[in-house]
Amino acid sequence: MNQVNIGLLGVGTVGSGVVEILNNNAEIIKKRLGFDLNLKRVCSKSISDKAKKIVQNVLTDSYKDLFQDDIDIVIELVGGYDFAKNFILQAIENKKSVVTANKALLARHGFEIFSKAFENKVDVGYEAAVAGGIPIIKAIKESLSANNINSIKAIVNGTCNYILTEMFKKEVSFEDALKDAQQKGFAEADPTFDIEGMDSAHKMAILSSISFGDNVTEYDVFTEGIKEISLLDIKFANEFGYTIKLLGITRLVDDKIDVRVHPTMVKKSDILAKTDGEYNAIKIKCDMADDTVYIGKGAGSLPTASAVVADVMDIARNIKHNSPLRIPLMSFPFNYVRKREVVDINSLEMDYYLRFSVEDSAGVLSKISGILGENGISIKSVVQLNKGENWVPLIIVTHKAKEKSIQEALEKIHKLDVVKSKTLLIRIDDE
């Protein structure tokens, strides 16, 4: 066998990148592998003219053609849940190894898919599912495997990072920054998954699972998006020495998993705060290697396709050496994979940034600070903007407080008639 045959489902943004890499980089791929990767069959509802030119002789209308005997590895790049899941499970039953970029699917049904692959002795590669071109899955599963991973802090959504960076640098509103991101092709036409934090939650579920030997799903991740962040908050964060990022955090606390995605104030000196635009950054704290940081393009056709093709190459090597499942699919053998309890966010303690919208009149500050005090919350700084209007922003930064106390205090504060609307809360990372 001087080649390994591939079937590709879906030639959209990432799929056309895969076609381009397999075509343009065939020589370096062959040099590294010692054999060819052959794109044997391609199935796609729609396809760009550029990609069609390259694959027209191998196009098929039936996805089932990708399960024929002459295919060794199938790549799933259609995204979504039901069809993609059925396709992958059928491929596995047909003894095909699978490569996918489908983070949403893996964050919901990963365990089922990996178990099925294990039973059928085939591999599943998913490097492209987290942070596109950054080789983070391999780093965790292989390069850091001699370590206990203590925590991961990460920017894993380029759309949100681009929006927050643009708001700060160009002093524009969230809406304008989002429009700009869409025009430049960084944000989807429907950016809900990105801006509401779900895309980051999917990625953090996957990273948590392979870091701790757990079956963390999207449902375990506490998730808040960036829609409520205003330019005002970004400016204040800057004054206080922070940058606001949509941060994914995962760590083990007393053998429970603390996994969350929310806007976070990160110290300006932190490498994560300095990661701008559409870039992703992942900081892993380990017991032996200490901190390692990975930065790169987390989306886009070629960066993501580069991760897909690297997975295909790894699996092709396993096929050549008859060593499927050499690296455990979930980073740990299945008998070590557990389902730990998830930490309740209410039990956490940290500093908080609170932006109230209040009436500008006598006694308002004392009412609010009174309630905070009654709930054991100590104030670090207070700023009130005098905009000459009836309702003004009042910003309070707290010392370390319990999330539960903060939420209880906010509930009481919202009942005050001097408070106009829901308070914005941003958690502060002061590590």
Catalogue the active-site residues: 203
Sole window of 28-36, 154-162, 269-277, 419-427 interacting with ligand HSE (rule: CB under 6 A)? 154-162
- 266 or 371: CB nearest ligand HSE: 266
Sole window of 66-74, 108-116, 153-161, 288-296 interacting with ligand HSE (rule: CB under 6 A)? 153-161
Q: How far is the CB of 103 from ligand HSE (least distance, A)?
A: 6
Sole window of 67-75, 88-96, 151-159, 334-342 interacting with ligand HSE (rule: CB under 6 A)? 151-159
d(CA 309, CA 37) in angstroms, rounded, equals 9
185 neighbors 225 (Cβ within 8 angstroms): no
**In the block, which residue shows the tokens 């430049």?**
184
Kind of pairing between the strands at 379-384 and 391-398: antiparallel
Sole window of 65-73, 109-117, 155-163, 230-238 interacting with ligand HSE (rule: CB under 6 A)? 155-163
Position among 44, 97, 100, 159 found at the interface with ligand HSE (CB under 6 A)? 159
- 152 or 343: CB nearest ligand HSE: 152
Which residues within the stretch 283-302 sit at the binding site for ligand HSE (CB under 6 A)?
Answer: 298-299
Which residues within the stretch 232-251 sit at the binding site for ligand HSE (CB under 6 A)?
Answer: none
**Does residue 194 touch ligand HSE according to CB under 6 A?**
yes
Q: How far is the CB of 102 from ligand HSE (least distance, A)?
A: 10
Q: How far is the CB of 181 from ligand HSE (least distance, A)?
A: 8
Which residues within the stretch 160-179 sit at the binding site for ligand HSE (CB under 6 A)?
Answer: none
**Does residue 314 touch ligand HSE according to CB under 6 A?**
no
Which residues within the stretch 20-39 sit at the binding site for ligand HSE (CB under 6 A)?
Answer: none
Q: What is the total count of residues that contact ligand HSE (CB under 6 A)?
A: 7
**In the block, which residue shows the tokens 């200490």?**
290
| Residues at the contact surface with ligand HSE, assessed by CB under 6 A | 157-159, 194, 199, 298-299
